[in-house]
Structure 1
Amino acid sequence: MGEKKGNSNSKRDNLLKAVSERKSEIVHLSHNDLDAAGCDAVHRMKYSEIFTIWSSVGSFPSMLRDISALPGKGHLLSISDLGYCKDADKLVEKAVKNGWRICWRDHHRWTDKELCSIENTGAICIVDTTRCATAICAGDLMPGDTIAEEVARVVCDYDLWKHNDPRAKMLGQICTKRVNLNPVRDRLTKGIITDDWINEEYRNIETERKDAIKKSIRGMKIIESRYRVAFAPLHGYPSETAHEIRDEFNTDIEVIYGKNGRFSIRSVPPISHLIARKFSGGGHPPAAGGTFTFTLKDKMSLLFLKKSRCFNELVQVADTATAE
């Protein structure tokens, strides 16, 4: 356990060292999915050199805290596809004082208070829940560019759950593997939406995905209340697992959780983001993410009984949530 923590700290230290020694004047901090890959592709269409950092939602606050403490040198810290986090205004204010210029483009749900708190730091903040983050970046950085517009259209098809373009589904699933973010991003930068590598990678992932979903469903627990809520352990592919559970078990809300307590939530009623906020998270009305605080007792209960007090807490929150 200690060695794992040491390795994690070492990776963080190496990353921050690289940021400090960057040659690029643009640091792009984004999520770690297809929308983030699209955002980074648009940034690379606009700027010649980019220093890109992929971040999970859970790691974002600490990542922003670390970067804000580094000398900005008057360079741009561009944040995309990551929603407001606790104390974000304080972290952004610190970054500005340390010489960073900040531009934040996002499509998650923000409150007016959260948006004003960032704008009051002097940072530029563009929030639009009607488009994917890639489309926001394309419209702001590459207006009228046909390649950027096509990339944004395909990414939005997947990220906003339109499901009209089969190429979008392929790219979305491929990007569930972090190792694929760079190669997908590089292709999107050139306007490549599909090729032999994408087709082959998708075929390989499909087999793995089906096995992962079966494992999750075997460990699933359903709680009946105001809504029919499913809780399933994560074995990969949270979005696809949630959709499979909904189709097969007619659930209203699907919660896919990891051993560390982080969970992905999908819901038919537009309340996912409201539920996630109660668990140190956020996101979209139909899809969001948060974190359970698992104790040792919780972990043992999950292992042997497939249940946890955290599940009941989430159901209670869902019962009282009112769609905005």
Structure 2
Amino acid sequence: MDYYAIVHNDFDGTASASVYARAVNSLPRNIWFTEPTKLHEVLAKLELRGVSSVMIADLGINESTFPSIVEAVKRLRSEGATIQWFDHHVWKEEWKSKLKEVGVEVYHDVTTCGAGVVNKVMNPNDEVSRRLASADCSVDIWLHDDPLGEKLRRIVENDRRFEWKKKLLETFYGGTLWNDEFQKILETRINEELKGYQRIWKYVKVLDVEGAKVVVAIRWKGPPDISYASQFLMTRTGADIFVSANGKAVSFRSNTIDVRRFAAGLGGGGHPLAAGASLRIPLLYRFLRWIGVRGPVIDWVSRVVIDVIRKEGLVKYERKPAH
């Protein structure tokens, strides 16, 4: 089968492409790793060049770019393309209806990750795909119920280059989920993370907001990344919520609280236990952070966090059963 793949630029995107490739018994002629904010641009520039099938996976929709997405898929459909879209982010029903009207096959399921959607629809009986989707969902939607997920996420995110993700796609497609190269990378990454855990306390503040303990952090350079740091810091402090700001965006994590509410309150979105939004820290505070003065930045982010939590309220997350 000859097709193009357009997926999210992360572990879930790579896993989704791999599961789909195994289902159709073919690697894509070309693949694009992108972000939801740039999907409309990728679609607008896409030329079929004799390829009649396009798969999109693990890419949610931004309301501001949706009209451009519709126009782009209309053009591709008029040129004879079959388009399948697999996703697990929160969608408006009108988005699904509009895409279906123009002939897009939409497969949407919020109970799983992107690779999980592809696996359910395309090849539910393939054991390699099931294992890969399980590992991916474990970290992507914050389930933490499959140890392979914590390992593979480090492997995928070890190298951001296209060539590395393409190599991983080929490896997973071939049925290999772990090898000696992965093991060496894992050992190196964990050693780097262990060193990093010793210094991240300088970038952290613990708050009490409406009876919940919240860890607020400003981004540091190097490992550990926010997903691993969030679990470490929440465990060490007994916090319910972890918040990280890097100057341009803010990320929320929790094991028990619906943090998507807070991200949505700031104009963003995501999953109930892992979400984010744009958050531009004022220039003065960024300058102070640059010269090593971290306190004012942490205090500014903390005020934003306190305000949005008080506004949106604390809601326990009730996990929905998969179907």
Normalised to the residue count of structure 1, the TM-score between the two structures is: 0.80
Structure 2 counterpart of 1:315, which letter? I
CA distance in 1, matches of 2:283, 2:149: 40
Render the CA deviation track for 1:92-138: whole Å, top value 9, x for unaligned. Answer: 21112322543221122234344444444432222212122112112
Structure 2 counterpart of 1:134, which letter? A
Q: C-alpha displacement at 1:310, in angstroms? A: 4.3
Please, which of 16, 21, 44 is the counterpart of residue 68 of structure 1?
A: 44
Q: 1:92–1:118: 8 Å Cα contact kept in structure 2? A: no
Please, which of 301, 305, 312 is the counterpart of residue 314 of structure 1?
A: 305
Render the CA deviation track for 1:158-193: whole Å, top value 9, x for unaligned. Answer: 334444433222112222222453333322212212
Structure 2 counterpart of 1:207, which letter? N
CA distance in 1, matches of 2:271, 2:305: 17
**1:82 matches 2:59:** yes
Q: C-alpha displacement at 1:144, in angstroms? A: 2.5
Q: Which residue does 1:246 correspond to in 2?
A: 234
Change (3 A) 1:252 1:150: closer
Q: Which residue does 2:10 correspond to in 1?
A: 33
Q: 2:74–2:102: 8 Å Cα contact kept in structure 1? A: no
CA distance in 2, matches of 1:115, 1:257: 32
Structure 1 counterpart of 2:215, which letter? A
Three-state SS of the structure 2 residue aligned to 1:193 is: coil
Alignment of 1:219-238 (within 5 A): 219-226=203-210, 227-234=212-219, 235=221, 236=223, 237-238=225-226
Alignment of 1:144-293 (within 5 A): 144-177=125-158, 178-179=160-161, 180-226=164-210, 227-234=212-219, 235=221, 236=223, 237-259=225-247, 261-293=248-280
Change (3 A) 1:199 1:276: same
Three-state SS of the structure 1 residue aligned to 2:60 is: coil
CA distance in 1, matches of 2:311, 2:98: 28
CA distance in 1, matches of 2:258, 2:208: 17
CA distance in 2, matches of 1:134, 1:108: 12
Q: Which residue does 2:320 correspond to in 1?
A: none
Change (3 A) 1:159 1:70: closer
CA distance in 1, matches of 2:97, 2:89: 15
Render the CA deviation track for 1:12-58: whole Å, top value 9, x for unaligned. Answer: xxxxxxxxxxxx95332222332222111122222534122222xxx
Range moving further from structure 2, 250-259 or 283-292? 250-259
In structure 2, runs of 5+ residues without a counterpart are 318-323
Three-state SS of the structure 2 residue aligned to 1:297 is: helix
CA distance in 1, matches of 2:203, 2:6: 35
Three-state SS of the structure 1 residue aligned to 2:63 is: coil
Q: C-alpha displacement at 1:244, in angstroms? A: 0.7
Q: C-alpha displacement at 1:70, in angstroms? A: 4.1
Q: 2:171–2:177: 8 Å Cα contact kept in structure 1? A: yes
Q: Which residue does 1:105 correspond to in 2?
A: 86
Q: C-alpha displacement at 1:308, in angstroms? A: 5.0
Count of residue pairs the alignment pairs up: 297
CA distance in 2, matches of 1:263, 1:213: 20
Q: C-alpha displacement at 1:225, in angstroms? A: 1.7
CA distance in 2, matches of 1:213, 1:78: 39
Please, which of 33, 43, 59 is the counterpart of residue 54 of structure 1?
A: 33
CA distance in 2, matches of 1:120, 1:295: 43
Q: 1:61–1:86: 8 Å Cα contact kept in structure 2? A: no
Three-state SS of the structure 2 residue aligned to 1:307 is: helix
Change (3 A) 1:32 1:210: farther
CA distance in 2, matches of 1:185, 1:244: 30
Normalised to the residue count of structure 2, the TM-score between the two structures is: 0.81
Structure 2 counterpart of 1:258, which letter? N
CA distance in 2, matches of 1:114, 1:310: 33
